Amino acid sequence: MVINLRSRTRSLSFSIGFVLTEEDGPKAEFKVDKNQTHAHTMLAELQTLLWAPLNLNSAPSIAPQGSMGFLAAFSLCVLLITVEAHGALASRRAFSAPTEPLADGICASSVTVHGYKCHELKVTTKDGYILSLQRIPEGREEAREHNATKKQPVIIQHGVLVDGMTWLLNPPEQSLPFILADNGFDVWIVNTRGTRYSRQHISLDPSSPDFWNWSWDELVSYDLPAVFDYVFSQTEQKINYIGHSQGTLIALASFTEGNLVNQLRSAALLSPIAYLSHMSTALGVLAAKSFVGEITTLFGLAEFNPRGLPVAAFVNALCAHPGVDCYDLLTALTGKNCCLNSSTVDLFLSNEPQPTSTKNMVHLAQTVRHGVLAKFNYERPDYNIMHYGEAFPPLYNLSNIPHNLPLFVSYGGRDALSDVLDVDSLLDALKFHDVDKLSVQFIKDYAHADYVMAFNARDLVYNEVLAFFKRQFDT
């Protein structure tokens, strides 16, 4: 079978033909139009980036006409189609805008309507990002009774490509923030930089690439400390923390450097992400291994907006790849979730996904490819030396986490992102943790999104988290 694709951008006219054969496997023939010397140079640079993650001994040299590996050529084609579409529609802001913020914020739309008190707050990080927080200071019945009892604070941190709203999509009796508030906790919901309610900066605009020059390293260095400092100053109490997915990654990385631990009472890690080598989502693995993140950074696509045309084109092209089934995109990314109501999924899809930085997605892809928990790799020794003083990025050493820090870890048997084998590696890194300070829960049928939106998460997970927090308070 032969598939011919052709595109023409302002700077590059090219054609790529995909040739699928039973004898030799997939190959791709490409040809650059005549008098396109600069385009040939661009292709050579792009192929170097695309070929590296495939772990082959060598990449074939590019001539004005030649062949390359199927995945590399496929990714190159995706990239160029994406860049072309992005350029053509750059003036149409509707394509690049994130999910629009609700006029009155998360409190008015999703909290006070259920009879809970809620405060919209702002916190500024040391690097100038203005983060949105929602505080639910007490339970519904306490609000009616005007109970002023001092509560234990709990910070709730969402994962990548979503925001704080994702915790509030179920009815109150099934949603973690409300359950915590009704059980006597002072709840603080965080919205990571770049999401719809945290798109402000003291000097930068989201339309500027500089606004998006960060990865989860900066969430470790700036966002979490700013939130912890603010909550601690307001409550004057040590803080309980709940993270999901990337929310666990940034917490673990922070704990390895001794940050936050003096303000922390305990931490619950749901679908923990530290290692990603065994991630089983075909869509995620293909995206990580095709190295597209580094290339989109090269072309200035600083904001990774899943609702924008460039990223949507990229995802659609990946979904067309053999072995990738995107009929149910949520399942394709997170695993087969057991316990989501269709109404909750509909709400999720109307509110999420949210933007992040392309650099952040690149950093996560590096974690998949390199199999270590490390700071952002600039891929060039001189750049790494400039940032870190050494040729390779420093590691986050999980064994540095204080052994007496109370940790609760819960993971699922169907999770395609937080794979069982990767969580086993995390637990192995915590093998010297004090036995009475580490609680581990395994739920065979749970996948990644179940921990946030499952109709039975209260019975299976949240009640265990509550019991864990209360044990730490009693000791």
DSSP symbols for 132-151: EEEEE-S-HHHHHHT-----
Within 273-403, strands assigned E span 303-304, 356-357
Among 158, 321, 433, 448, the active-site one is: 448
- Which string of DSSP letters, residue by residue, matches 234-247? HH-S-EEEEEEEHH
For residues 49 and 294, what is the distance between their CA atoms, to the nearest angstrom? 8
For residues 307 and 349, what is the distance between their CA atoms, to the nearest angstrom? 11
Token look-up 């999401």 returns 195
For residues 228 and 241, what is the distance between their CA atoms, to the nearest angstrom? 10
**Tokens encoding 119:** 């405060």
For residues 407 and 179, what is the distance between their CA atoms, to the nearest angstrom? 20
* Residue 448 bears catalytic tag: yes
Cis amide bond preceding 353, omega within 30? yes
> What pLDDT shows up at residue 365?
87
For residues 252 and 270, what is the distance between their CA atoms, to the nearest angstrom? 12
How do strand 25-32 and strand 13-21 relate by DSSP bridges?
antiparallel
For residues 359 and 341, what is the distance between their CA atoms, to the nearest angstrom? 33
Among 415, 419, 422, 450, the active-site one is: 415
Contacts of residue 55, Cβ cutoff 8 Å, sequence gap at least 6: none
pLDDT tens for the chain, residues 1 to 475:
333 334 333 344 444 443 333 344 334 444 444 444 444 444 444 444 443 433 333 333 333 333 333 333 334 333 333 333 333 333 332 333 445 666 679 999 999 999 999 999 999 999 999 999 999 999 998 755 655 678 999 999 999 989 999 999 999 999 999 999 999 999 999 999 999 999 999 999 999 999 999 999 999 999 999 999 999 999 999 999 999 999 999 999 999 998 899 999 999 999 999 998 887 776 677 666 654 455 555 456 888 888 777 777 777 777 777 777 776 667 777 788 999 999 998 898 888 889 999 899 889 989 888 889 999 998 889 999 999 999 999 999 999 999 999 999 999 999 988 999 999 999 999 999 999 999 999 999 999 999 999 999 999 999 999 999 999 877 6
Angstrom CA distances, 6 to 28, 133, 387, stand at 13, 47, 40
The single-letter code of the amino acid at 257 is E
For residues 460 and 283, what is the distance between their CA atoms, to the nearest angstrom? 29
User: If residue 80 lies in a helix (H) or strand (E), which one and from where to where?
Assistant: helix 70-88
For residues 188 and 118, what is the distance between their CA atoms, to the nearest angstrom? 10
The DSSP bridge partners found for residue 131 are 123
Q: Would you say 432 and 401 are in contact if contact means Cβ atoms under 8 Å apart?
A: no
The verdict on pTM exceeding 0.75 is: yes
The single-letter code of the amino acid at 276 is L
Among 245, 254, 271, 425, the active-site one is: 245
For residues 462 and 465, what is the distance between their CA atoms, to the nearest angstrom? 5
